[in-house]
């Protein structure tokens, strides 16, 4: 994930406030959160409607343990940017112990637009990410040698899953909220069709059941309650079609972690499959990536219609 305080400088009306914001970023990079908070407060005196400064102040105050003040700063960031491109709403929800069903689409789009230039290198070299390979192994176990006429790649990103699956798919279609990621996927040259958009709308447009395979590699971690998306997947699958995906493992149905990624329980996955009329062909413990030098507990699953 991008580092704390790495936020896009939405238009600031005051050059001095921008300089103080930059100084606060440098202080935060050195771990001096108190100085960062003080300088950000000064910047906000000159630019009281500037969302990035409010968001950064919330992060700094959260690091200092002042959760009440951090929550107030996140609220100000939300007031300034109702689309919540910075993710202030989810951070506020975590501080106040409130459950949310999904992350704001504008936040996800902005996050990955910013992340795109270093996405693959960071995943592979820093996080040892292998979600697509785990999905391919799961498909080999459930349907060895099976070829798929039409496959949908949900949250396709730069095309890592598409490249892993291309040799087994006749027509490959990808969708992602991030325009920058779609540009990279298009450059990869492995997709027959690419769309920028929301997963629900994308699946709804394919509710006639024309897909033999739907995959979601490290995508469902940005959704809390998986029942709606699994139900939409079921309508987009042909009979005997497969839905293969990875998630991060959790104890409760779904919970938002500090990194703003959801964890899901096995019970929630089973409930989502049952409600959508899908059977579980495979549900196995895996580690799709490393976080903080440790393997992150996850699951790879294959549901069948």
Q: 15-29 and 33-46 helices cross at what angle (nearest 10)? A: 170
Sequence-distant (≥ 6) Cβ neighbours of residue 302 within 8 angstroms = 138, 139, 142, 242, 243, 244, 280, 281, 282, 283
pLDDT tens across 211-267, in order? 999 999 999 999 999 999 999 999 999 999 999 999 999 999 999 998 899 999 999
Q: What total number of domains does the chain contain?
A: 2
Same domain, 83 and 23: yes
- Could you identify the residue written with the tokens 């709403």? 89
CA distances from 104 to 85, 99, 108, 142 (A): 8, 13, 7, 34
Q: What is the CATH number of the domain that holds 45?
A: 1.25.40.10
pLDDT given at position 292? 78
Same domain, 30 and 140: no
pLDDT given at position 3? 37
Q: Which domain holds residue 240?
A: 118-304
- Could you identify the residue written with the tokens 């540009």? 183
Is the residue at 1 inside a domain? no
Same domain, 62 and 188: no
Is the residue at 38 inside a domain? yes
Parts of the chain with a pLDDT under 70: 1-9
B/e letters for 144-168, b = 16+ CB within 10 Å, e = fewer, are eeeebebbbbbbbbbbbbbbbbbeb
Is the residue at 105 inside a domain? no
Same domain, 198 and 250: yes
pLDDT given at position 290? 87
The rounded Cα 77 to chain-centroid distance in angstroms is 21
Asked which of 39, 65, 98 is the last residue of a domain, the reply is: 98
User: 10 Å Cβ neighbour count for 193?
Assistant: 11
DSSP H stretches of helix in 198-249:
199-204, 227-236
pLDDT given at position 207? 84
* Burial grade of 208 (CB within 10 A; 0-12, 13-18, 19 or more): exposed
Is the residue at 104 inside a domain? no
pLDDT given at position 249? 96
Q: What distance in Å separates the CA atoms of residue 231 and residue 102, rounded to the nearest whole number?
A: 16
**What is the model's pTM?**
0.90
């Amino acid at each position: 994930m991008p580092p704390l305080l790495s936020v896009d400088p939405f238009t600031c009306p005051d050059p001095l406030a921008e300089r103080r914001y930059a100084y606060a970023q440098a202080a935060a990079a050195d771990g001096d959160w108190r100085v960062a908070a003080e300088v950000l407060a000064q910047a906000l005196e000159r630019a009281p409607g500037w969302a990035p400064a409010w968001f950064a102040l919330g992060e700094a105050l959260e690091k200092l343990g002042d959760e009440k003040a951090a929550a107030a700063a996140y609220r100000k960031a939300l007031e300034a940017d109702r689309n919540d491109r910075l993710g202030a709403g989810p951070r506020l929800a975590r501080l106040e112990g409130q459950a949310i069903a999904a992350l704001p689409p504008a936040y996800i789009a902005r996050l990955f637009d910013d992340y795109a230039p270093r996405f693959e290198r960071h995943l592979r070299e820093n996080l040892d990410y292998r979600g697509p390979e785990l999905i391919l192994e799961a498909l080999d176990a459930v349907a060895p040698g099976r070829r798929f006429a039409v496959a949908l790649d949900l949250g396709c990103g730069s095309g890592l899953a598409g490249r892993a699956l291309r040799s087994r798919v006749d027509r490959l279609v990808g969708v992602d909220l991030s325009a920058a990621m779609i540009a990279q996927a298009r450059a990869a040259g492995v997709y027959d069709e690419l769309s920028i958009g929301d997963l629900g709308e994308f699946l709804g447009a394919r509710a006639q059941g024309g897909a033999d395979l739907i995959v979601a590699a490290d995508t469902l971690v940005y959704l809390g309650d998986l029942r709606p998306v699994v139900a939409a997947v079921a309508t987009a699958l042909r009979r005997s079609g497969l839905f293969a995906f990875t998630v991060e493992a959790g104890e409760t149905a779904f919970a938002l972690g500090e990194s703003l990624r959801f964890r899901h329980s096995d019970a929630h996955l089973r409930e989502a499959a049952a409600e959508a009329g899908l059977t579980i062909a495979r549900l196995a413990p895996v580690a799709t990536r490393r976080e903080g030098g440790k393997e992150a507990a996850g699951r790879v699953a294959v549901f069948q219609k």
